[in-house]
Structure 1
Amino acid sequence: MTDQKSSRTPKDTHYANLRRQFRDQKAGSVGKGPVGKGPAGKPQRPQRPATDATPVPEGLIRLYGLHTVRAALDNPARQIRRMLVTRNALDRLEIADVGALPFAVEIVEPRAIDRETGSEAVHQGVMIEARPLKTHSLKALQDSSLLLILDQVTDPHNVGAIMRSAVAFGAGAIITTARHSPQESGVLAKAASGALELIPHIEVRNLADAIGELHDLGFVTIGLDSEGPLELEQTMTPGRIALVLGAEGKGLRQKTRETVSHLARLDMPGAIKSLNVSNAAAISLYAAQRFLAAGSQAA
């Protein structure tokens, strides 16, 4: 009978160690041996334990990150109640006179902000507590020629990235549904990298009715769909354009598909025929902005 232990190859021993490491980590072991080493036997950096954020005061939100906070400071509509900031971040924000700010400022160590935001937040040494911005109405769109509408897009990272693209390409506003859309938060604002303060945000209860109102205001509404019958460029007309993008995974709802002026696809010659909603938003905004700019120059 063969001795299993003596017949092990180095490869067998390596995988046995990996299995033991997995069991020990799952059980919370901190003993010696392979625990804490990667497949090549190199020590791994210890993971910083995640900490829960402290509760946010009622009626306020927490925003963090240098770009996010700088944009909030520059926005006269943003009502800030409190700031926690490290000395290094204070220098980078270029605030000349802290005492002149109309809210409380505490100069702290980074771990103090960790306790407020949770250790997973990339706060870059600054956090503010502020009131959410007021949403706008469709009546505020009289001078806009390019809009972006989100049909129940729920991921705050995606919505933040979409806001950033909307500002970059000159969209007049972003319209979302009151339900099944993320509220203002540190995660959304960080992904927006300051854009949250720079673009009007409109919430509507009934998206189909809102699209109908946009038609009355002279907008052509174009729903992005990977199986749309026309390419995006074929659906654009001079004047006013509102791009409509659907939720991650399921896309546009049936009622939205029936209400928009056109369903269109992005022409993608590669093997993949669909994109993340934030990428699709950026590409379609670029195409629409170029189309509208060319039309205004021709006129």
Structure 2
Amino acid sequence: MSNKVLFGFHAVTVRLKTAPESIIEVHYDGERRDARMRGFLERCEEAGAKAIDSDDSRLSKLAGSPRHQGVVARVKPLAQRHSLDEVLEDVEALQQDPPLVLALDGVTDPHNLGACLRVADGAGAHAVIAPKDHAVGLNATVAKVASGAAETVPYLMVTNLARSLNEMKERGIRIIGTSDDAQHTLWDVDFTGPVAIVLGAEGPGMRQLTRKTCDQLISIPMAGAVESLNVSVAAAICLYEARRQRKG
């Protein structure tokens, strides 16, 4: 596998913390002498990561973006679990929290995906899945927005989303889809058992086959003038309601 790039303090710091041996080199803005940069460089030294003083132009070129915060790392890809089955088997073996999966159907914007991964990490979701042909893959922008969650939450791109949802059903996982026209709301659902929450892209929503695969459709109550929420906001509301119910 080819090397990849991470940029931004959160994304690079998480990699320094979780897999320092995978870092090839860290480039930083030597003109920044603030406390945050000093602390970051101390962490690099503690982790044994090679730190290279680079200017803004070099950093922007490496990151492919000017929004690098003065920190860019070249890293080796981490070994990923290759299937949803592997993730779910690990969850079931631990016998702690019931499986909680976020499924995204048609989310192609890297900023939305990054935000969804960050939410999934915070709410304790075990995996995020998406179809290979209708979704954005992991890239540097996703990793930056995810603030390290792209390193901690398995993001699995599946060949056939409906089939993967049906396979989860066979494991006893309920498939709960979100739809503006659903008869029941988020507050009517019991999330304490094994659940996969399915969200579509803002606008078109879920595809028909995905919708038909769901065990239940729910809506998020809307009290104002807007008709829908950004997919990452909707993911946060749903996942944290599941977390609230599970922790009592």
TM-score by length of 2: 0.85
Task: Provide, for residues 85-119 of structure 1, a one-character-per-residue CA deviation record: whole Å limited to 9, x for no partner.
Answer: 134465231435639626x432222332123234x
Structure 1 residue corresponding to 2:184, chosen from 217, 222, 230? 230
Structure 1 residue corresponding to 2:195, chosen from 241, 253, 273? 241
**Structure 1 residues 242-251 or 90-99, which shifts more?**
90-99
Of the two structures, which has the highest relative contact order with CA contacts closer than 8 Å and spacing of 6 or more? 2
AA aligned opposite 2:4:
I
Counterpart in the other structure of 1:141: 88
Counterpart in the other structure of 1:95: 42
Counterpart in the other structure of 2:14: 71
1:96 and 1:77 mapped to 2: Cα distance? 10
- The answer to whether structure 1 residue 177 and structure 2 residue 131 are counterparts is yes
Q: Which runs of 5+ in 1 are unaligned?
A: 1-57, 295-299
1:194 and 1:186 mapped to 2: Cα distance? 11
AA aligned opposite 1:128:
A
**Structure 1 residues 147 and 77: CA distance shift in structure 2, 3 A:** farther
Secondary structure of the residue aligned to 2:153 is coil
Secondary structure of the residue aligned to 1:149 is strand
**Structure 1 residues 131 and 152: CA distance shift in structure 2, 3 A:** farther
Q: Is this contact kept in 1: 2:60–2:67, CA < 8 A?
A: no
AA aligned opposite 1:95:
E
2:145 and 2:55 mapped to 1: Cα distance? 24
- The answer to whether structure 1 residue 191 and structure 2 residue 145 are counterparts is yes
**Structure 1 residues 168 and 238: CA distance shift in structure 2, 3 A:** closer
- CA apart distance, 1:236: 2.6
Structure 2 residue corresponding to 1:106, chosen from 26, 45, 52? 52
Q: How does 1:158-173 map to 2 (within 5 A)?
A: 158-173=112-127
Which of structure 1's runs of 4+ aligned residues deviate more than 3 A?
A: 87-90, 96-100, 131-135
TM-score by length of 1: 0.72
Q: Which runs of 5+ in 2 are unaligned?
A: 92-97
- The answer to whether structure 1 residue 255 and structure 2 residue 202 are counterparts is no
Q: CA RMSD in A?
A: 2.3
Q: Is this contact kept in 2: 1:226–1:274, CA < 8 A?
A: yes
- CA apart distance, 1:269: 2.1
AA aligned opposite 1:92:
G
Q: Is this contact kept in 2: 1:224–1:244, CA < 8 A?
A: yes
Q: Is this contact kept in 2: 1:146–1:289, CA < 8 A?
A: no
2:77 and 2:47 mapped to 1: Cα distance? 23
1:94 and 1:234 mapped to 2: Cα distance? 49
**Structure 1 residues 205-214 or 125-134, which shifts more?**
125-134
Percent identical among aligned pairs is: 36
Counterpart in the other structure of 2:228: 274
- CA apart distance, 1:156: 0.5
Counterpart in the other structure of 2:71: 126
2:69 and 2:40 mapped to 1: Cα distance? 11
Q: Is this contact kept in 2: 1:225–1:251, CA < 8 A?
A: yes
2:106 and 2:78 mapped to 1: Cα distance? 20
> Which is higher, the Rg of structure 1 or of structure 2?
1
Counterpart in the other structure of 1:83: 26
Counterpart in the other structure of 1:209: 163
Secondary structure of the residue aligned to 1:284 is helix
Secondary structure of the residue aligned to 1:95 is helix
AA aligned opposite 1:93:
F
